[in-house]
Amino acid sequence: MAEYNRPQSSEEFHRNFEQKKPLMNDTEAYYESSRCLFCYDAPCVTACPTGIDIPLFIKQIQTGNLTGSARTIYDSNWFGNACGKVCPTKVLCEGACVYNHQDIKPIEIGRLQNFATIRVIESNKSLYSPGPNNGMKIAIIGAGPAGISCACELRTLGYQVDIFEAKDKPSGLTVHGTAPYKITNKEVLAEMDYLQGQLGFQVYYNTPVSNAEQLRDIEKEYDAIFLGVGLGPTADLGLPGDDKENVIGAVEFVEALRMKEHLVQVPDKVIVLGGGNTAMDAASESCRMGAQEVTLAYRRSKDEMGAYGFEYELAKNAGAKGLFNVQPLEILGNGSVSGVKFIKTQSVNGQLQVIEGSEFTMECDMVIKATGQAKMGNLFALIEGMDLDRSKRIVVNPVTFQSTNPKYFAGGDAVNGGAEVVNGAHDGKAAAKGIHQWINNL
């Protein structure tokens, strides 16, 4: 394997994490945009969670109205640039492109989107301004896609917006969680600066909201509150040996990579536990960090993985190997991890069963748990009358995103249990409209 050498510098890191959807040049955008058929009631629009008028923005690129194109995108989605790069477009807009039905390459919607938005960001061309101050104040907890989108939309409606963010950067998992070959930190943060520059919401960084007192203060001071807190850290597996050194959660692993780049040490042999997109990301990231042997270990069969097929392909192409129908029993090691003890499994009538006596051990120097993030249950419990569903997701009205405590609205991963940036962007924007409606009794 060893397709990738261990990156020794930031430059080498970025070479290993070369952008999967590089910026189009003018000529490519010109030809690609000319292929769009301008479908009636275009299926790509329906497939985009934020409902961007895709045929319109593509035609605007084709006719040299790049600023208008960016406006079309931002009118529907405040994370227009980030989404163009991190959206799983194969299963969203591009997956719905009618060209697929004649086995013709679908329009590269994500890259075209990025082509339009990057121009206005780089030239800092102002497209929006805050609405006239209406004297109302809204608090937002969490500066992720949902929170920032809600803030932008509220500012256009004239609300004063304060965001409380636990970390020191905006955009949530966009900058801390998405795979580095999808988008660079610089590009994510440039869009955040661009939005904040135009709309002027206030973000209080390094300010986690974690106790009842803080919440009561916020409730007193603000007219409504939006929760865009996402999900928590990687959930505990409850396995013996879970606490050994070099056993790390996938979300924490990616965050470290994105923040520290080549300074993160990834040893030779890595086992990634899980079968979702995060597991795929972690596996391919380990390969790109120079690990020699990366194994993706999943409890069920390959076909039952939650990950998109193309994400699995990407991990395989980076050098990861799949190991299916294995369940971890124990993480072995003396201080630091030295291996994982698995037992084989099989599906019997849809039920997963372990095969008695099939235990085996696989050596490794690092275990990445991509087995799901915890929910923010503790925080939610402090909010009176706010119902959660069985999976500890906040229950909201699907149109207004109002929770069962009318002062609280919520969206993004905290509501959907973990989806994409584009869903957070949609929810935040919709919730802002919901807040506006509720406050004005519309």
Ligand X SMILES: Cc1cc2nc3c(=O)[nH]c(=O)nc-3n(C[C@H](O)[C@H](O)[C@H](O)COP(=O)(O)OP(=O)(O)OC[C@H]3O[C@@H](n4cnc5c(N)ncnc54)[C@H](O)[C@@H]3O)c2cc1C
**Closer to other proteins at the Cβ: 38 or 205?**
38
Buried b (16+ CB within 10 A) or exposed e, 208-244: ebeeeeebeebbeebbbbbbbbbbbebeebebebeeb
Residue 236: CB minimum distance to ligand X, A? 16
Tokens 């029993």: give the residue.
Answer: 329
CA gap 33, 252 in Å, rounded: 39
31 binds, among other proteins, ligand X, ligand SF4, none (CB under 5 to 8 A by kind): other proteins
Residue 391 touching other proteins (CB under 8 A): no
Strands 366-369 and 224-227: unpaired
Give residues 378-407 in contact with ligand X (rule: CB under 6 A).
379
Total Cβ atoms within 10 A of residue 122: 11
Nearer to ligand SF4, 50 or 402 (CB): 50
Residue selected from 8, 9, 34, 440 as contacting other proteins according to rule CB under 8 A: 34
The distance of closest approach from Cβ of residue 287 to ligand SF4 in the complex, given in angstroms and rounded to an integer, is 26
Among 25, 101, 132, 168, binds other proteins (CB under 8 A): 101
Q: Is 163 helix (H, G, I), strand (E, B) or coil?
A: strand
C-beta of 30: minimal distance to other proteins in Å? 6
Rounded to 10°, the helix 26-34/54-62 angle is 130
Q: Does the footprint of ligand SF4 cover residue 110 (CB under 6 A)?
A: yes
Q: How far is the CB of 244 from ligand X (least distance, A)?
A: 22
Asked if residue 180 binds ligand X (CB under 6 A), the reply is no
CA angle 80, 81, 83 (to 5 degrees): 70
Q: Select the residue interacting with other proteins from 3, 15, 30, 347 (CB under 8 A).
A: 30
Please state, in angstroms and rounded to a whole number, the distance separating the CA atoms of residues 270 and 320.
Answer: 9
354 to 328, 361, 367: CA distances (angstroms): 11, 15, 21
Which residues, numbered 336-365, are part of the site for ligand SF4 (CB under 6 A)? Answer: none
- Judged by beta carbon, residue 7 or residue 80, the one nearer ligand SF4 is 80
Q: Which of 16, 69, 72, 77 binds ligand SF4 (CB under 6 A)?
A: 77
**Binding at 118: pick from ligand SF4, other proteins, ligand X, none (beta carbon under 5-8 Å per type):** none
Of 12, 296, 328, the residue nearest 180 (C-alpha): 12
Give residues 58-97 in contact with ligand X (rule: CB under 6 A).
86-87
Eight-class DSSP state of 301: -
Residue 144's binding partner among ligand SF4, ligand X, other proteins, none (Cβ under 5 to 8 angstroms by kind) is ligand X
Which residue from 16, 113, 171, 284 is in contact with ligand SF4, where contact means CB under 6 A? 113
Between CA 107 and CA 379 the distance in angstroms is: 43
Decide if residue 287 touches ligand X (CB under 6 A). Answer: no
Cα 225 to Cα 109, 260, 270, 398, distances in angstroms? 34, 33, 42, 17
Query: Which of ligand SF4, other proteins, ligand X, none lies near 40, with the C-beta cut-off 5 to 8 A by kind?
Result: other proteins
SS3 411: coil
| Of 24, 61, 70, 83, the one binding ligand SF4 by CB under 6 A | 83
**Residue 41 contact partner, candidates ligand SF4, other proteins, ligand X, none, CB within 5 to 8 A by sort of partner:** other proteins
* Structural contact between residues 1 and 287, judged by C-beta atoms closer than 8 angstroms: yes
CB 342, CB 360: distance < 8 Å = yes
Q: State the binding partner of 77 from ligand SF4, ligand X, other proteins, none, CB within 5 to 8 A by kind.
A: ligand SF4
- Residues between 144 and 173 with contacts to ligand X, criterion CB under 6 A: 144-147, 164-167, 172-173
Strands 160-164 and 137-141: parallel
The answer to whether 52 contacts ligand SF4 (rule: CB under 6 A) is yes
Phi, psi of 82 (to 5 degrees): -60, -45
Burial of 133 (0-12, 13-18, 19+ CB in 10 A): exposed
In eight-state DSSP terms, residue 263 is: G
Please report, as ranges, the residues that interact with ligand SF4 according to CB under 6 A: 48, 50, 52, 54, 77, 83-84, 87, 89, 92-93, 109-110, 113, 422
Please report, as ranges, the residues that interact with other proteins according to CB under 8 A: 30-31, 34-35, 37-41, 43, 46, 62, 98-102
Please report, as ranges, the residues that interact with ligand X according to CB under 6 A: 86-87, 141-147, 164-167, 172-174, 177-179, 182, 208-210, 228-230, 250-251, 254, 278, 281, 379, 412-414, 419-422, 424
